[in-house]
Structure formats: structure tokens, C-alpha cells
Amino acid sequence: MTKLSVNVNKIAVVRNSRGGNQPDVVRAACDIERFGADGITVHPRPDARHIRYGDVRDLKAVLRTELNVEGNPTPSFMELVLEVAPRQVTLVPDAPDAVTSNAGWDTVRNRAFLSDICARLHERRIRVSVFVDPRPAMVAGAAACGADRVELYTEAYARDYAADREAALAPYLEAAEEARRCGLGLNAGHDLNLENLRFFADRIPWLDEVSIGHALICDALYFGLENTVGLYRRALAF
């Protein structure tokens, strides 16, 4: 079964909008674990507009499932993850002012840089996933850099799913097959939701993990957090 890692950034957005500690990000993450999620994802950005570096440290101290920390491997980010040593780090090439991640790495052009980052993370026994667009060449490039997994950037799949789900899936299936040929683990994330998730995971059954935040937290406003985690878990159980 594909694992569900829940991104709790949006919970931090609500907290930060008023100051203080309501809602409590750490408490929410622990509840999400208890409700059946397989892991927690966070993506601290330089402006600390949602998850802060302190949140990452606090979460690492209490979580029992896997902690996945996403981000651009700037010096400050690398200092944090090498200190905290989460189970997985997902390398994302987002600009400091990006609203959300909007592109994968060019793993060919950035091979030397990514190879060095992967080696440093492996020294701390951290699994490395590289965020890529659904292009076989970028997947193969991630393998050449020494990554353990790739995370496929699924915004285009989600955008085109309603019009033609087979066509929307096609490049992802090709990229997923390349990952399998390269011996890479396979993650996916961005705009996956209760409408499009099951089809994606059903057609790529060797998918290791999905990371879902925005849609899941939005659904939780209507269905409740515990029920929503269960709904996403059931979407992955087939």
C-alpha cells in the first residue's frame, strides 16, 4: 500500500496569521499520526511564513512515524536537516519568494550540486528524494546524482485529470517506469486530492508515498481531520 505523508504547512499558516500557538502544529501532527497517517511532511521556507525551523525540531522530538522535510538545499536548510536528521529530505528547487513549489529540478544541469547534497545527507543516513517533473531524463538524472527516490510533481496531472485522466497520467506512468528501471523509490505530490488520487495510485502500484497537504487540510474543514485522514488512507487501499 502506498504510504500517506500529510503536509502540515497549512496548519502553521493559520497559527501564524494570529500569533501564539493556536492551532498547535505539533499536536495536530501527532493527532494525524494517531488517525493513521504514515508520516508527516513539512516545508520550511526562508521567510518562515508557515513552518518554522523550530517546528521541525519540535516535530522530530515527538513523531513516531517518518518525518519528511522538503526544501531548497540552501546553507541554512542544510544546517537544519543535518542537525535534525529526519528520515527523508525532499530536495525542491523553489525560489525564496515562491508561493508553492512549481517546478522540478533539472537533474542533468545540476548534477554536480545535487550529487554533493545527496552525499552529505547520506552521511547522516537520511533518505534523499529529488522533486522532478515527469520526464524520464530527469528521473535518470536523479539516479545519477545518488538520490534514493524521486518525487513526481503532479500539478499537471491534477490540472488535466478531469478532461482526460489517461492522457494526464501518461507522462507520469512513463517517468514512474523509468524510476523503477533505475532502482529508485517513487513518491508523488502536489494537488493530489480525493478525486484524482485513487486513479494515480492504482495505475502506478509501485508508488511508495504521496505527500498531501493543501487538499487534505481543506477537506478536513468539511469532514473533520480524523475522518479526512481515513478517507485518504482508503483512497490508497485497493
Cell numbers standing for residue 25: 502544529
Could you give the 3-state DSSP secondary structure of residue 224?
Answer: coil
| Catalytic position from the list 43, 50, 151, 209 | 43
> If we measure between CA atoms, which residue out of 117, 110, 113 comes closest to residue 132?
110
| Catalytic position from the list 33, 178, 190, 209 | 190
DSSP H helical segments within 19-160, as ranges? 25-34, 53-62, 75-84, 111-123, 136-144, 155-160
Question: How far apart are alpha carbons 233 and 230 in whole angstroms?
Answer: 5
| Catalytic position from the list 33, 70, 151, 209 | 70
> If we measure between CA atoms, which residue out of 133, 176, 131, 187 comes closest to residue 156?
133
Active site annotation includes 50? no
Active site annotation includes 190? yes
Q: Which letter, b or e, does each residue of 171-201 get, where b requires 16 or more Cβ atoms within 10 Å of its Cβ?
A: bbeebbebbeebebbbbbbbbbbbebbbbbb
Size of the chain in residues: 238
Neighbours of 232 (CB within 10 A): 24
Say if residue 171 is preceded by a cis peptide, omega within 30 of 0: no
Active site annotation includes 122? no
**Are the C-beta atoms of 187 and 7 separated by less than 8 Å?**
no
User: Which residue numbers are catalytic?
Assistant: 43, 70, 190
